[in-house]
């Protein structure tokens, strides 16, 4: 292994000797806090700028025509979705029914009222 020796440089012999003249900058606690706050503000500004694209439009949408059904004993969400899917994907219909009724799962209770897409 080899060792390299560099000559010592005295900053006091240069003009304008000080921390900035040597290229070194040290931040105080207050300076680090200021840099953090500015960075945080920039991040929030960027987030707000990108979130502006997800605002609802002024165009009116067409509501999905629905029917209300009452769940019978032993009837599952799969049964209801397969009856309404009309040859389409039953899983997509299950998802649609869950979204229309704000269901967390596919579990249903006898007597429960559900909004389902209208039969076409």
pLDDT, tens digit, 9 for 90 and up, residues 55-84? 666 777 787 789 999 999 999 999 999 998
pLDDT, tens digit, 9 for 90 and up, residues 90-106? 999 999 999 999 888 88
With a pLDDT cut of 70, the percent of the chain lying above it is: 78
Residue 81 near residue 95 (C-beta atoms within 8 A): no
pLDDT, tens digit, 9 for 90 and up, residues 11-67? 555 555 555 556 777 889 999 999 999 999 999 999 888 876 666 667 777 877 899
Q: Provide the H-helix boundaries in the chain.
A: 29-51, 77-85, 90-101
Question: Quick one: tokens of 23?
Answer: 């290229």
Residue 94 near residue 81 (C-beta atoms within 8 A): yes
Residue 108 near residue 69 (C-beta atoms within 8 A): no
């Amino acid at each position: 292994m080899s060792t390299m020796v560099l000559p010592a440089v005295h900053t006091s012999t240069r003009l304008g000797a000080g921390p900035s003249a040597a290229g070194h900058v040290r931040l105080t606690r207050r300076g680090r806090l200021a840099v953090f706050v500015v960075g945080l503000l920039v991040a929030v500004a960027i987030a707000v700028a990108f979130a502006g694209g997800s605002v609802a439009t002024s165009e009116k949408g067409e509501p999905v025509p629905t029917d209300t059904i009452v769940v019978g004993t032993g009837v599952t969400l799969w049964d209801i979705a397969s009856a309404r899917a009309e040859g389409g994907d039953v899983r997509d219909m299950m998802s649609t029914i869950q979204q229309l009724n704000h269901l967390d799962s596919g579990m249903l209770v006898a007597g429960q009222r559900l909004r389902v897409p209208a039969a076409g």
